[in-house]
Amino acid sequence: MLEVDDLAVDIAGAPVLAGVSLAVGAGEALGLVGESGCGKSMTALAVLGLLPRAAQVRAGSVRLKGAELLGAPEKALRQVRGGSVGMIFQEPGACLDPVMRVGRQIGEVLRLHRGLRGAAEQKALRDLLLEVGLNDTERVARAYPHELSGGMQQRAMIAMALAGEPVLLIADEPTTALDARIASQILDLLDRLRRERGLALLLISHDLAVIGGRCDRVLVMYAGRAVEAASANEIFDAARHPYTSALIAASPGLAGVARKAALRDIPGQLPPPGSAGAGCAFAPRCARARPVCGERLPAWTALGAAHAVRCLQFEEGW
Ligand SMILES: Nc1ncnc2c1ncn2[C@@H]1O[C@H](COP(=O)(O)OP(=O)(O)O)[C@@H](O)[C@H]1O
Ligand SMILES: [Mg+2]
């Protein structure tokens, strides 16, 4: 459904994404994980043609159902956004207009993207609200966003994302602002929608515990690059990249990890864009790094059918 190939994006001349490739099929969930600032949102925004003005796409392609989105005319991109691609963000305010009733906002998408009017629009609105668990449909439709709880706002944003009948849902930190119980309900809802609607889901989080049980495959990013790709099981049971292992060790929400005596923060900091040297950007923080790691960029090494890693220790001559 979605194929991103070798995507490279600069902001003000500094690379924020370099050689990012990923693919998500219908009914499949891909998790994108990495600490804050590693380029997850930029990847999502590039897919949507919503990169900041200062950003420049240097290379790569983004295809939705085979059609190239990079460089596509704004008119075509407007059909994609809120139409074939639904978006959910951390802040409902990013999607919901604070001064418009929820029902009217969703109704606008139903009119714009599906041409529904009158009773058909009202029925579609009610069905959508029920589908996302907002059962008091009349009250919710009449409410302004601030009159709803955080979890309900998130559900309303999901209903809006679904209103254009998307084939792909991009959820960027959808639960980061919610408490654990509500977060888990929202993730369950996304999971159910993916299965019932056969949606491709790109689930983005800085938190591996969020990605964990809800994705088929996981892509780990560091400093604008993908560094490890694997099935969700393999990421947890057989992580190979030292950065992935550090993320797991630093993730308090993961079963098993919580029982370890000390949760280790990852020492050091993500390098700002453009400041990484010629080699692996993680090398300065990596306990296993050798001098060569700072000199040469690792290539992908395949470790199994669906598991690959970018780290010199898996290359010949280590
Ligand atoms: N509007 C912007 N202008 C300039 N740089 C930005 C902007 N937004 C993000 N960046 C930079 O791009 C990099 C990637 O950011 P982002 O994709 O938002 O990370 P993540 O979503 O993984 O936390 C970071 O270095 C960030 O500082
Ligand atoms: Mg982000």
CA distances from 17 to 27, 234, 289 (A): 26, 25, 23
Q: What is the C-alpha separation between 262 and 270, in angstroms, rounded?
A: 22
- What sign for the dihedral angle of Cα 70, 74, 80, 82? positive
CA distance to 134, 145, 175, per residue, from 142 (Å): 12, 10, 24
Residue of 7, 16, 22, 203 best suited for mutating to test ligand 1, as the one with most atoms within 8 Å of CB: 16
Task: Say if 219 falls within a structural domain.
Answer: yes
Q: Is residue 238 part of a domain?
A: yes
Question: For the CA atoms of 247, 177, 44, 66, what is the dihedral angle to 10 degrees?
Answer: 100
For ligand 2, the distance from its centroid to the CA atom of residue 142, given in whole angstroms, is 31
Q: Report pLDDT for 254.
A: 64
**Cα of 192 to ligand 1 centre, how many Å?**
30
The 3-state DSSP class for residue 55 equals strand
pLDDT value, residue 264: 62
315 Cα–ligand 1 center, Å: 30
Strands (E), the chain: 2-11, 14-24, 29-33, 55-64, 67-68, 85-88, 168-172, 200-205, 217-222, 225-231, 301-302, 308-309
Tell the residue nearest (CA) to atom 2 of ligand 1: 52
What single letter denotes the amino acid at residue 271? P
Residue 66 lies in a domain: yes
The pTM is what? 0.94
35: nearest Cα among 158, 205, 287 = 205
Q: Report yes or no on 118 lying in a domain.
A: no
Give tens-digit pLDDT for 265-284. Answer: 778 888 888 888 899 999 99
- Burial (CB < 10 A; 0-12, 13-18, 19+), residue 150, is middle
Cβ neighbours for 243, distance < 8 A, ≥ 6 positions apart = 220, 222, 227, 228, 266, 282, 285, 286
For residues 257 and 248, is the Cβ–Cβ distance under 8 A?
yes
Q: Residue 122: its pLDDT value, please? A: 97
* Distance of CA 267 from the midpoint of ligand 2 (Å): 21
- Closest residue by Cα to atom 24, ligand 1, is 37
Domain range for 6 is 2-84+166-314
The best mutation among 41, 227, 269 to test binding of ligand 1, ranked by most ligand atoms within 8 Å of the C-beta, falls on 41
For residue 108, being part of any structural domain is answered with no
Nearest ligand 1 atom, CA 38: 22
Per-residue pLDDT of 28-44, as tens digits, reads: 999 999 999 999 999 99
What does the pLDDT read at residue 141?
98
Domain contains 145: no
The enclosing domain of 46 has a CATH number of 3.40.50.300
Q: What pLDDT is stored for residue 266 in this prediction?
A: 79
**Is residue 183 domain-resident?**
yes
Atom of ligand 1 nearest to the CA of 173: 21
Longest dimension (CA), the chain: 69
Residues with CB under 6 A from ligand 1: 11, 16, 34, 36-42, 52, 54, 273
Structurally, the chain folds into a number of domains equal to: 1
Which atom, in ligand 1's list, is nearest to the CA of 40? 22
The reply to whether 218 falls in a domain is yes
pLDDT at position 261 is 40
Average pLDDT for consecutive 10-residue bins of the chain (318 residues)? 97 94 97 95 93 94 95 91 91 86 96 95 97 97 95 95 96 91 94 96 93 92 96 92 91 56 69 88 94 94 94 92
C-alpha of 216 from chain center: 14
What are the CA-CA distances from residue 132 to residues 163, 180, 190, 193 (Å)?
Answer: 11, 18, 9, 8
For residue 13, the ligand closest to its alpha carbon is 1
State the pLDDT at residue 177.
86
Q: How far is the CA of 173 from the centre of ligand 2 (A)?
A: 7
Say if residues 47 and 4 touch (Cβ distance below 8 Å).
yes
